[in-house]
Amino acid sequence: MTDIATGTANSDTPLLRTPLYDLHLELGARMVPFAGYSMPVQYPAGLIAEHLHTRTAAGLFDVSHMGQLSIGGADAAPALESLMPVDVIGLAPGRQRYGTLLNDNAGILDDLMFTRRASDFLVIVNGACKVADTAHIQQHIGARCQVTPLPGAALLALQGPLAATALERLVPGVSGLIFMSGNSLVWQGQELFITRSGYTGEDGFEISIPSEAALAFARAVLQQPEVKPIGLGARNSLRLEAGLCLYGNDIDSNTTPAEANLLWAVQKVRRNGGARAGGFPGAQRLLAQIDAGCARVRVGLRALERVPVREHTALHVPGRAAVGEVTSGLLGPTADAPIAMAYVAVAHSVPGTRLDAMVRGKPVPMQICPMPFVPHRYHRG
Amino acid sequence: MSLKYTVEHEWVDADHAVATVGITHHAQDALGDVVFVELPEVGKTFAQGEVTGVVESVKAAADVYMPVSGEIVEVNEALRDEPALANTDPLGAGWFFKVRLSNSAELDALMDEAAYKALTH
């Protein structure tokens, strides 16, 4: 047996550490290289137990490898809007939205979350993309607004149906937030910026906190009886069950928001016929795809046998040609079945369509199904 | 039991002409929660080092190699319904398959427990 993940880095570049690195070791985490950081992939409880705990109680994730940016100034909203096919100008103060940075071909450079605060936007980007994103944003809108990376802030996520109960004890008032909104709140004299959001499909929060306070805060959260630490392994299985894309797998610079089935994140005001249609990189191609359709599209699939189907697996019309490829796949612990995301030719993308995944030369029957695989349970107020 | 070990983290119970094969405690620990085991077909013959199947956790998949040449005479059907046996009892109820040895001299080149421990620590 080979290819066991050992957690050892074979790169010459030393791995970065988040402010919670020592805590992860103390908790017995298995650390792996991820986005240039040494990150916990799982704790002794194991991936499945951590996944199920998050779905039934509350899980604490260290996501401090992710990039945090402040984009401020009088022109910040139209400037940010010029980079994404998203309604930024119309976002109310205190509200949060999902967006995609596009290249000139409408390919996705990164996906991100942004919140309109009193005097700036707080933008959260993927760890592996943060250096390139910052350069891209600076280059295109740096002259119109203040783009400030926030390397002095850690980011924690508390996710699960009991997350609000647990966090309310430490940060009174936090349970007043609704899904996709955020506010500044204080814990022991430290200012936290908390949004009610996350990437698991569950209710929960993401907490931006000064690095020097992160360790004490994480310990306080972990002392709550509902909360256990959760690694990146379960974060991946939770997000896949929730139908959420992993940048680098399910979306990248060669996929557009239309192909990625992310048009819910392209508001009508930016589409043809909208008051501020176009005006973002790749607009011509994306708007044409929205109106005329595209050749391939991201779909969800469920295997009809209990065989995991992983990324890069080819999907065939049974007995015939390949019509797509899996981009993420695993046995979903809550779905209790092998699930996957894939890009398939539009003609074969209708829910209910049977396709064969070719796993080690043998067909595994799969069926296209709607996402999410596990219902979202956001707190919409 | 006098177990022998491979660098691919399989164990071989080599006391008999028919040897039992499984994955080591170290292997199951590194993989994490096992959710799927693809077992070889009974009656099929493999040369030493050939891939017989796969063991998968939620996050990873790993090939299982034939530690000693021979014919598969039995597979652990219990793993199909309860792959987690590979985690909970890797040296016992979580065994993978039994093989009729075609060249018992191959056993001599495998590691003993002390050598395997040195490899994995």
Please tell me the predicted confidence (pLDDT) of residue B14.
82
Please tell me the predicted confidence (pLDDT) of residue A381.
86
* Interface subset of A 350-379, CB within 8 angstroms of B: 360
CA distances to A68, A241, A300, A336 from A373, rounded to whole Å, are 29, 5, 8, 10
Report the C-alpha gap between A177 and A104 in whole angstroms: 36
Question: Which residues on chain A are in Cβ contact (under 8 Å) with B30?
Answer: 4-6
Q: Which residues of A43-76 are buried (b: 16+ CB within 10 A; e: fewer)?
A: bebbbbbbbbbbbebbbbbbbbbbbbbbbbeeeb
Report the C-alpha gap between A355 and A320 in whole angstroms: 10
* Interface subset of B 59-98, CB within 8 angstroms of A: 59-65
Domain boundaries, chain B: 3-113
> Which whole number is the average pLDDT over B48-55?
96
The pTM (predicted TM-score) of the whole model is 0.94
* Chain B interface includes A329 (CB < 8 A): no
Does residue A11 have a pLDDT over 70?
no
Does residue A162 have a pLDDT over 50?
yes
For chain A, the average pLDDT equals 96
> Which whole number is the average pLDDT over B59-86?
95
What CATH number should be reported for the domain whose range is B3-113?
A: 2.40.50.100
Helix (H, G, I), strand (E, B) or coil at B85: helix
Minimum-distance CB partner of B60 among A5, A51, A333: A5
pLDDT tens per residue across span A38-89: 999 999 999 999 999 999 999 999 999 999 999 999 999 999 999 999 999 9
Residues A331, A4, B110, B43: what is their CA dihedral angle, to the nearest 10 degrees?
Answer: 20
Report the C-alpha gap between A375 and A271 in whole angstroms: 29
How far does CA A116 lie from the centroid of its chain? 19
> Which whole number is the average pLDDT over A319-345?
97
Closest approach of chain A CAs to the CA of B86, in angstroms? Answer: 13
pLDDT tens per residue across span A171-187: 999 999 999 999 999 99
Outline where DSSP puts E strands in chain A: 30-34, 37-42, 58-62, 67-72, 96-102, 108-116, 120-125, 146-149, 153-159, 182-187, 190-195, 204-210, 227-229, 296-303, 314-316, 322-332, 337-345, 354-359, 362-369
Query: Chain A interface, mutation test: which of B12, B31, B34, B57, most A Cβ atoms within 10 Å?
Result: B57
For residue A212, what are the β-bridge partners? none
CATH superfamily assigned to domain A295-381: Aminomethyltransferase beta-barrel domains (2.40.30.110)
Nearest Cα neighbor of A115 from A97, A127, A137 is A97
How far does CA A203 lie from the centroid of its chain? 14
> Which whole number is the average pLDDT over B38-65?
95
Closest approach of chain B CAs to the CA of A170, in angstroms? Answer: 33
Please tell me the predicted confidence (pLDDT) of residue A12.
66
Please tell me the predicted confidence (pLDDT) of residue B67.
96
Type of residue at A106: A
pLDDT tens per residue across span A91-126: 999 999 999 999 999 999 999 999 999 999 999 999
Question: Which residues on chain B are in Cβ contact (under 8 Å) with A237?
Answer: 58-59
Which band of pLDDT confidence, cut at 50, 70 and 90, is reported for residue A3? very low
Query: Chain A interface, mutation test: which of B52, B54, B59, B63, most A Cβ atoms within 10 Å?
Result: B59
What CATH number should be reported for the domain whose range is A1-244?
A: 3.30.1360.120
Domain boundaries, chain A: 1-244, 295-381
Closest approach of chain A CAs to the CA of B17, in angstroms? Answer: 23
Report the C-alpha gap between B91 and A337 in whole angstroms: 27
pLDDT tens per residue across span B2-13: 899 999 999 999
Report the C-alpha gap between A92 and A115 in whole angstroms: 9
Contact present, A237 and A339 (Cβ < 8 Å): no
Which band of pLDDT confidence, cut at 50, 70 and 90, is reported for residue B1? low
Please tell me the predicted confidence (pLDDT) of residue A6.
40
Token digits of residue A238: 């939770």
CA angle, A152 then A130 then A238, to 5°:
95
Does residue B102 have a pLDDT over 70?
yes
Which band of pLDDT confidence, cut at 50, 70 and 90, is reported for residue A2? very low
Contact present, A340 and A262 (Cβ < 8 Å): no
Report the C-alpha gap between A302 and A338 in whole angstroms: 6
Nearest Cα neighbor of B44 from B7, B97, B82 is B97
Residue contact A236–B59, C-beta within 8 A: yes
Report the C-alpha gap between A52 and A46 in whole angstroms: 10
Does residue A7 have a pLDDT over 50?
no
Report the C-alpha gap between A180 and A205 in whole angstroms: 9
Residue contact A6–B30, C-beta within 8 A: yes
